[in-house]
Structure 1
Amino acid sequence: MKIDFFECNYFHQLNSFNIELYTIKNFHNHSESYWQTVEEDVNNSMMAEIKDADTEDHENIVDAYVEDLINAQSTAPRFHRETMLVSLYCQAEYTLLEYCSWFNQDVMGKDSNFDKLSRHAVLDNISRYMQDVMGFDLTSFKDEWEYLKNIKLIRNRLVHSNGKVGKKPMKIESFCEQNVNFRIQNGFIVLWKGAIDDAINVLMKLLHKLENENQLFIGRHQEKFGAFEHTGFNNV
């Protein structure tokens, strides 16, 4: 059966998410810049007071600014990055579920399989569907997929234990050892300044590679059934 892929809902899912990622990245960078500016302003104000004060007053001045410095250097950026990572993973998972679900309806002519794929090991279900039904070569995006699975582990720790690594930490420890933007300090996962940019960049690479696999699928389908031809409009 010939299919007008451009009219299929699934066809636009990946590109729409990719566009959203650019907006999210821009928002994230503005937030990081804001807290860096706050830190610099607080530090400059503190140093200006210290410069004009007697030595015996220096400690009291530092004490007056220390909470604001901690908030700008650590508390606020950490909360922002953790929230961003959790949201990014949730949005990525939902997009991939929608992608497969619409493919099942648009191309396979079947009911939505969103609920079926979202049970238990979601990413394994999605990759299995992509391989078995869509004919995607999983090795072409193996590294990005493994990265996404590790982000899910970190997301789960952030949501359920405030970032505490807890039991069976081997996978998370291995990931953090290989990625300078994710660290473990005192048993807790810490997202460094580059963590969110790193996650977004990997997601963009994943979407690009999935789109390549989709184009290969379309080519195979059209070779077998022929390309859909638009009749256009008759001149009046």
Structure 2
Amino acid sequence: MERAGKKLHKDYEKKIQDSPENSREEVFHKYVWEQYQTLTPEFHRESLLISLYNFLENQLNTLCEKLAVSVDSRIELKDLNGKGIERAKLYLTKMVGIDFNRFEGEWSYIQDINKVRNCIVHNGGKISSDPNNKLHEVTRKNSKLTKTETGYLSVGSDLIEDFITTLLEFFEKLEAEVERYGTIKSAGDSLE
């Protein structure tokens, strides 16, 4: 994205130099339109990724809150250490007994997206130059994520579709686990 912006800027400077004084405003408007067409899809994909991730985190937190009420637990999500989806996972595994091994592939992908989201939100998409940064591994194993020459993360157009598909599969499996938990709880209630 940054590389495309620099190329457009150089093209703009050349066009301004080569154009007559009275047409420079038109050249400027064309440049702005080209910038918009080049940069907007990337911003849109980043915004979608952040929104989808926010939806996931909110749904997990809501589920934890509802399950805490259903089991009449004095321990709530906010009482546990951690943040975000990892804290929700901790609650669901320790307090409810949800088996995350049943959707390990989806959860692993979601954890990778968490790293991407954090890079976009906290670093403006700039990938740390630290070779131990886990985002380097994520970009190596996911062809829909690339690191630009200037060190920025680029979200490929198919990544959003993959993320949505993964979320749907994850929520379907999570729902089955919650239903399994409800069945186990109901069986336990009937024994009392």
TM class by shorter-chain length? 0.7 to 0.9
Distance between the aligned counterparts of 1:122 and 1:168, measured in 2? 25
Q: Could you tell me which residue of structure 1 aligns to residue 137 of structure 2?
A: 174
- 2:128 is the counterpart of 1:156: no
2:33 — aligned with what? 68
Higher deviation after alignment, 126-135 or 157-166: 126-135
Question: What amino acid is the match of 1:71?
Answer: Y
Match of 2:106 in 1: 144
Aligned to 1:25: none
1:124 aligns to what? 86
Distance 1:96 1:179 in 2: 25
CA displacement at 1:204 relative to structure 2: 0.8
Amino acid at match of 2:172: H
SS at match of 2:82: coil
Find the partner of 1:205 among 165, 169, 173: 169
Give the 3 Å change call, closer, same or farther, for CA 121–168 of structure 1 in structure 2: farther
**Aligned position for 1:16:** none
**What is the TM-score normalised by the length of structure 2?**
0.75
**Secondary structure at the residue paired with 2:147?**
strand
Distance of aligned partners of 1:172 and 1:132 in 2 relative to their CA distance in 1, 3 Å threshold = same
CA contact (8 A) 1:157 1:163 kept: yes
Can you give the 5+ residue segments of structure 2 that lack an aligned partner in the other structure?
1-17
Correspondences of 1:36-115 after superposition (within 5 Å): 65=30, 67-72=32-37, 74-106=38-70, 108-111=71-74, 113-115=76-78
Q: C-alpha deviations, 1:50-96, integer Å up to 9, x for none?
A: xxxxxx99xx9xx6745423421x31111111111112112211210
Q: Distance in 2 between matches of 1:77 and 1:156?
A: 19
Flag structure 1 segments of 5+ consecutive residues without an equivalent. 1-55, 228-236
Q: CA–CA distance in 1 between the matches of 2:167 and 2:62?
A: 16
Q: CA deviation at 1:179?
A: 1.7
Aligned identity (percent) is: 23
Deviations 1:84-110 (A, max 9, x none): 11121122112101111110112x213
Normalising by structure 1, report the TM-score: 0.62
Q: What secondary structure is seen at the aligned counterpart in 2 of 1:183?
A: strand
For residue 188 of structure 1, the aligned residue among 145, 149, 152 is 152
Q: CA RMSD in A?
A: 2.7
Q: Per-residue CA shift, 1:109-154, capped at 9, x if unaligned?
A: 135724234x534333222222222211111111211222221211
Task: Return the structure number with greater relative CO, CA threshold 8 A, min gap 6.
Answer: 1
Q: SS where residue 72 of structure 2 aligns?
A: coil
Answer yes or no: is the 8 Å Cα contact 2:145–2:153 preserved in 1: yes
Higher gyration radius (CA):
1
- Report how far residue 201 of structure 1 moved: 1.1
